[in-house]
Amino acid sequence: MKRIFIALKIDPEVPLLKIISSLKSDLIIEKIKWTSIDNIHITLAFPGNTEEKDIEIIKAMLTEKCEGFGKFELIIKGAGVFKNLSDPRVIWVGIELSEKLFQLNNVIIKGLRDAGSNIEYRPFKPHLTIGRIKYINNKTALKTYTDKYQNTEIQRFQVKEVILYESILKQTGPVYNPICNFKL
């Protein structure tokens, strides 16, 4: 059994790297688990713990659904926190709304359900998690961050493939190993 998820890999460019670096610097004394730059991605679906035989079914489904879907561009734009500014849990950078991204997500979720996966329904909120907050004192710095980048275009990138990952949880943080790539 493997803990799996389906995602789009993001290669952060200088503007995004500067924002992350600046935020880390401003919040250096806070208890935040920062996402490794190598692990930045947009999650499309999280099937979770999955048997090997079911992974093969998911791979076949992804091959079918991704083939011919077509490449598209996304814009990293905006910033915020999940739960809320009074009780923040996750620091994120946003993705501008994209019809193609929502279509891809819908096709994959439907494909997983048709393949027998019991994937739970969650509204799709595309974002890049950059930090998970354990405890924070300086909520003002978070508000400054969200206000500053609320409507700012940070980076554009081409979506050319979907990746099926295995997530291995370790004390030092998760390790994401690509199982298979699916060209669009």
Q: What is the pLDDT of residues 95-127, one digit of tens each?
A: 999 999 999 999 999 999 999 988 888 899 999
Say yes or no to pLDDT of 59 above 90: yes
Instruction: Count CB atoms within 10 A of the CB of residue 149.
Output: 19
Contact 28, 141 (CB under 8 A): no
State pTM to two decimals: 0.94
Per the prediction, the chain carries an average pLDDT of 95
Instruction: Assess contact for 10 and 40: CB atoms under 8 A.
Output: yes
Give CA separation, 73 vs 77, 80, 84, 88, 113, in Å.
13, 22, 29, 30, 27
Q: Which residues are catalytic?
A: 41, 127
How many CA atoms lie less than 13 Å away from 139 in the CB half-sphere?
10
Coil/strand/helix, residue 54: helix
pLDDT above 90 coverage of the chain, percent:
92
State the Cα–Cα distance between residues 20 and 150, nearest whole angstrom: 15
Query: What's the pLDDT tens digit per position in 121-159?
Result: 889 999 999 999 999 999 999 999 999 998 899 999 999
Q: What is the mean pLDDT of residues 90-99?
A: 96
Tabulate helix, strand, coil % of the chain (nearest 5). 30, 40, 25
Is pLDDT of 77 > 90? yes
Class of domain 2-183 (CATH, top level): alpha beta
Average pLDDT of the residues in 68-90: 96
The pLDDT assigned to 153 comes to 96
**What are the extents of the domains in the chain?**
2-183
Beta bridge partners of 22: none
